[in-house]
Structure 1
Amino acid sequence: MSLISVIELSYQAGSKRLFDSLSFSIESGDRIGLVGHNGCGKSTLLKLLLGELTLDSGQLHRQRGLKIGLVEQFLSPELEAISAHQAVLDKIPADEQVVRGYQVDTLLQQLGFDEATLQRPLNSLSGGQKNLVLFARAIIEEPELLLLDEPGNHMDSRAMYCLKRYLSLPDTPSFLMISHDRDLLDSVTQRTLWLRDGRCYAFHLPYSQAKVALAESDEAARKTREAEEKEIDKLKASAKRLATWGKVYDNEDLARKAKSMEKRIDKLEINKTFVTQGSGLSLKVDSEFLKTKQVFVFENETISSPDGRPLFSIADLNFRPGDRIALLGVNGSGKSSCIEHLIKVHQQNVGEQSATRFNPNVRIGYFDQELEQFNVELGIADWIRQNCTASQEEIRRVLIQWGFPYLDHGRRVNVLSGGERARILLLTFLLEQPNLLIMDEPTNHIDLQGKEELESDLTQEGISLLFTSHDQRFIENIATRFWWIHNGQLVELHDSDVYFTSQGDDAGSKPSALTDASPLFPEESVATAAMTEDERILERICELERLLEEDLARKPKRQKPAKQQQWQKELTVLNQQLE
């Protein structure tokens, strides 16, 4: 049964045509991932489905009386001072709150909150916990269809695990979810709607399989288009020849045949197979390889919070040229404070540096997860000119190449979307060529295609990179080393699986449809969901098989043979235990 049907929908935002004859349906029981590059209109489509915007043409039919719940992307300021419990309770009608109040605590417990945490004010919770509260505010209204706009942003592994677990429950309502997180999409969706070129490509597959199917469809379209254009070229040559002969020999029959052939050519031109132009985005980052033994070093350093409270200590860690280091830790552990410390030390003279020391030749390219440097009244081109040394002509050329038309170069950067800001910041890296990239949650605002292109560019030989991310697949694809903030110390890990497993029931893997409501956000400790030993082993086997399959699918130079061997050994042991 269709909850929503969209037929030949068209919509234009300002001078930009977002959708042209868009058609799809959302059925009861659907779990859909909505994907596409930044600026393709994903959030606009949600507003059209909600009735907040009016379509230019086409039809949009909602089931009579359909109750739609929206999971907001940002917490409104008026909610910051109240508790998680109260924020969710407020979504229940006042005359039902006494009777249904218990549902709030049950729901929050299913999402990982313990009794103490759900009574704390929201401004004291992590970004991931706040997002889970926004999710709970939508769920408590018992919608038949749930619309989610980037619910996984800023979530650490624990919060992401809770979100995956809930969305996998059999009684979760139908949902349409915008996300740039591949693991989340692959874990909880079974359909994918891909917005591209103003069109909608629908697949009854989760994201990774849909991506393969879309690529195969693109290749088939390209080959068909090539054959069509060859046929058109042949007909054009024949028509020209017939027209010439008709004129030379004054033969009306030949002239008529030429005109008939030209009409046929016109029809073929109109009906040529469509071939995508892609997103128009190419995230190329190049970096000079430092000819030195170290980029920076920590020796007996202590990292503190902005108010001076010690967060963790570092005995001795060395960052070498070409390292791609993932800085791991739950929200609030001090990852951003560590990055801010490095930026501050780098700005000091070499002689003033002590426990943290940089090579004097280091040039940092810094990606701030909040993108605060864009909160200014400057146009795009002027902002870039202020933040790099490239010429006006070069800036204009690269902006157009990256999908910013000339008419948009004067748009103020403080009104741009997160994705647009992220692309502009990466564009300055291309122009400035830093030799050390420090990136705090770089994937939060980048679309799936941009994320995969960024992965490809960041794995070039010579790139030196320190980054934070809660995207497990991004970490596994990029990092060559792992630093973990654990028990008050920054330590080196030789395997990221140790970190992700520590987050509770293999938080990075696909959860089963659990009904266990044990909290993952207790005040003092982390309680894991109840599972039998066999279930744990089977879940770990599935995760290891996925890791092996994904690594073997990469190009040989990007594979990790040592990890493959380690995973294979662990699989052998686990299979023996099951037998």
Structure 2
Amino acid sequence: MITLRNLTLRRGTKVVLQDANVVLNPGEKVGLVGRNGAGKSSLFALLASRLHADAGDAEIPPTWRIGEVAQHMPETTDAATDFVLQGDQPLVAAQEELAAAEAADDGEAIAHAHLALADAGAFDARARAQALLLGLGFRPAQLDAPVNSFSGGWRMRLQLARALMNPSDLLLLDEPTNHLDLDALVWLEAWLQRYAGTMVVISHDREFLDAITRVTLHLDNATLTRYGGNYSAFEEMRAERLSQAAQAFAKQQERIAHLQRFIDRFKAKATKAKQAQSRVKALARMERLAPVLTESEFDFEFREPANLPNPMLSLQQVSCGYGQMTIVRHVERTVLAGQRVGILGANGQGKSTLVKTIAHMLPALGGQIVEGKGLAIGYFAQQEMDLLSADDTPLQRMVRLAREVSPQAREQELRNFLGQFRFEGEMVHQRVGTLSGGERARLVLATIVWQRPNLLLLDEPTNHLDLATREALSIALNEFEGTVMLVSHDRALLREVCDEFWLVTAGGVLPFDGDLDDYQRWLLEVSRAIARGGEPPPPPRPGIAAEGAPPPSPVPAPAPAPKEEPRKAAGKAGREARAALQAQTRPLRVELQQIDARLEKLAAEKAEVEAALADPAASDFAELGRRLAHVGAEVAMLEERWLELQTQLEDMTS
């Protein structure tokens, strides 16, 4: 287990932790939460032994293997799959051991190396690495692409896959969802739920924390507090604790005031002097409670739009892309006043391309975008620096914007406005290039609010926002009177803001008939179909025809069945259905029995070879090692096929 005992940690002059006492048990999945700058990453560095405590003790089992996502990405031309495989340290060590043994022509060492490779899962390692990459959103054609060919966000996914590839007892994840779309996020959740070790994760995604954590550590004002439960449970328990602490403080203040009034009134009276003195001692002995201090709340609101054209805009056979490359074709959609549209789809399908085209950041490659009279777009880019200049200061950016939008704005008015977004004092003169990701995101939000838009195009606005700012954004969007089009992997924000969804897939844009739970179920069905080598199911569509699509053909009513006694008819139908299911599943069940029989024989052969290797009198260690390798490879292949057949059988019988 991990034990922090009376631990104090400083970074420079700042105290990050003061007298922390926490125990984390093996296998616990822990969410580490706190405001930006509270010291969460410093605590991670302590757990990873990159920092040491200034006082107290931090006990971590010395045999534990620690896995974390590296922040530095090396420049390499290695293929993506090979790069991920290099993260499996036991596998790399076994491969190096085998290479050294073969170079020395040492048969016994070769056999031991083959055993180490089998223990490291060498025979299915490449398949496991590629499964990680596919789950995180890479396409099959990218599995052998050089690392240097990927952009920064995709390289961070490679680092995440590399960290997951390495067997670990303690997994440290710092904002693992920042560069993931919703499809990859759902897959990562499922993977982490199956993870057997101890996990500590920093995240500002409420639903992600609720799905994978069962313990919450709250870091606030150098105090580390453990709560049993996920993030939602933590919020409820902390609110109750704050309420109780506030009540206790108020009651103590009343008691202190009562004692002080008695002392002031009777300290000069001889008949009451003894009682007054006893109350002075009682005040001196009293352990004073501190007032309840909470983080200052951040809130803002979008200004009321000057007008609301309806429709806002109409996309007529619009094609979007870059240069000569078309990504989304023949988009035929209309955006109305007051709509709240969430845009779903896997990375690379064209969500950001569609939004950039509507925002005039990219020209349409075909078709026509007809805008309503008076349309005013507020655009939040996925990369904030696309809308900012590194050499600007927040005040300079607002002065220039005010000249375009509101010529009468004075500098003090702009300073006050920036103060609403936590740019106070000298921060208004700090260069944008030195601001944190969260500060840049707040500056972009400030510029959007100032422009008074009636259509908001938001592309991953929460990537660098903490939970408090995300909550403020959700409230502001719900109170906004205009139209919202939102691309986000933050499911809490999508649920709270959007009431309809578009799905960008297969080069087109379709209406999605359902909520986020339906979308996640559809993603699971798609992944199962792909794993079975079948055609993925189409997404749920509304009952009415999509815009521009022909109406559905009428389906003729079935001919009436001959009348039978209801109970007999039901029994007959049930027997026929069971017989049909038995016939349909028989080949699967037969193959499963054959695999089970073969696995029994392989288990016996493996035990025989291992016993021979353990015998000092054995002579041909190299041949025994090769036999063991072949057995291990066949077992891995058969187990994978067994799981595939079992999944098919469960799907058919459910």
Within the candidate set 61, 66, 69, 2:67 is matched to: 69
Equivalent position of 2:341 in the other structure: 325
Within the candidate set 43, 46, 53, 1:45 is matched to: 43
Tell me how far 1:17 sits from its aligned partner: 4.8
Instruction: Describe how 1:283-322 pairs up with structure 2 within 5 A.
Output: 283-288=300-305, 290-304=307-321, 306-322=322-338
Equivalent position of 1:218 in the other structure: 242
Equivalent position of 1:358 in the other structure: 371
Structure with the bigger RCO (C-alpha within 8 Å, sep 6+) is 1
Structure 1 stretch 337-346 or stretch 121-130: which is displaced more?
A: 121-130
Tell me how far 1:177 sits from its aligned partner: 0.6
For 1:525 and 1:117, how far apart are their aligned partners in 2? 21
* Change beyond 3 A, Cα 1:533–1:88: closer
**RMSD of aligned alpha carbons:** 3.9
* Change beyond 3 A, Cα 1:478–1:127: farther
Within the candidate set 188, 194, 211, 2:212 is matched to: 188
Within the candidate set 359, 369, 375, 1:343 is matched to: 359
Equivalent position of 1:84 in the other structure: 80
Tell me how far 1:198 sits from its aligned partner: 3.1
Tell me how far 1:217 sits from its aligned partner: 1.7
Tell me how far 1:201 sits from its aligned partner: 2.6
For 1:153 and 1:504, how far apart are their aligned partners in 2? 22
* Change beyond 3 A, Cα 1:240–1:185: same
CA contact (8 A) 2:2 2:58 kept: no
For 1:214 and 1:185, how far apart are their aligned partners in 2? 16
Tell me how far 1:321 sits from its aligned partner: 2.0
For 2:515 and 2:649, how far apart are their aligned partners in 1? 23
CA contact (8 A) 2:310 2:372 kept: no
- Corresponding letter in the other structure for 1:155: L
Tell me how far 1:83 sits from its aligned partner: 2.0
5+ residue gaps, structure 1, are 508-515, 538-576
TM-score (norm 2): 0.69
Equivalent position of 2:183 in the other structure: 158
For 1:405 and 1:13, how far apart are their aligned partners in 2? 24
Structure 1 stretch 134-143 or stretch 191-200: which is displaced more?
A: 134-143
Equivalent position of 2:628 in the other structure: none
For 2:232 and 2:457, how far apart are their aligned partners in 1? 28
Equivalent position of 2:500 in the other structure: 481
Within the candidate set 118, 137, 140, 2:143 is matched to: 118
Equivalent position of 1:378 in the other structure: 392
CA-to-partner distance for each residue in 1:223-266, whole Å, 9 max, x for gaps?
222222332333343333335xx2xxxx4675776576466556
Tell me how far 1:70 sits from its aligned partner: 1.3
Equivalent position of 1:572 in the other structure: none
For 1:28 and 1:321, how far apart are their aligned partners in 2? 53
CA-to-partner distance for each residue in 1:185-209, whole Å, 9 max, x for gaps?
2222111112233322311211122
Aligned residues: 513
Equivalent position of 1:3 in the other structure: 2
For 2:644 and 2:94, how far apart are their aligned partners in 1? 31
Tell me how far 1:145 sits from its aligned partner: 0.9
CA contact (8 A) 2:302 2:477 kept: yes
- Corresponding letter in the other structure for 2:128: L
Identify the structure with the greater helix proportion. Answer: 2
Tell me how far 1:127 sits from its aligned partner: 7.8
SS of the residue corresponding to residue 59 of structure 2 reads strand
For 2:275 and 2:11, how far apart are their aligned partners in 1? 42
Equivalent position of 2:590 in the other structure: none
- Which is higher, the Rg of structure 1 or of structure 2? 2
Tell me how far 1:441 sits from its aligned partner: 0.6
Q: Does 1:452 align with 2:468?
A: no
Equivalent position of 1:573 in the other structure: none
* Change beyond 3 A, Cα 1:330–1:36: same
CA contact (8 A) 2:133 2:161 kept: no
SS of the residue corresponding to residue 355 of structure 1 reads strand
For 1:82 and 1:3, how far apart are their aligned partners in 2? 36
For 1:116 and 1:529, how far apart are their aligned partners in 2? 23
Equivalent position of 1:104 in the other structure: 125
Tell me how far 1:221 sits from its aligned partner: 1.9
CA contact (8 A) 1:374 1:414 kept: no
Q: Does 1:434 align with 2:453?
A: yes
- Corresponding letter in the other structure for 2:264: K
CA contact (8 A) 1:111 1:166 kept: no
Tell me how far 1:33 sits from its aligned partner: 1.1
Tell me how far 1:276 sits from its aligned partner: 3.4
CA-to-partner distance for each residue in 1:100-121, whole Å, 9 max, x for gaps?
5545324324436387553233
* Change beyond 3 A, Cα 1:285–1:263: farther
Equivalent position of 1:422 in the other structure: 441
* Change beyond 3 A, Cα 1:341–1:279: same
CA contact (8 A) 1:298 1:315 kept: yes
Equivalent position of 2:627 in the other structure: none
Identity across matched positions, percent: 26
CA contact (8 A) 2:314 2:333 kept: yes
TM-score (norm 1): 0.77
CA contact (8 A) 2:3 2:59 kept: yes
For 1:172 and 1:385, how far apart are their aligned partners in 2? 54
- Corresponding letter in the other structure for 2:169: E
SS of the residue corresponding to residue 370 of structure 2 reads strand
Tell me how far 1:468 sits from its aligned partner: 0.1
For 2:391 and 2:274, how far apart are their aligned partners in 1? 64
Tell me how far 1:77 sits from its aligned partner: 5.3
For 1:447 and 1:159, how far apart are their aligned partners in 2? 21
Tell me how far 1:53 sits from its aligned partner: 3.5
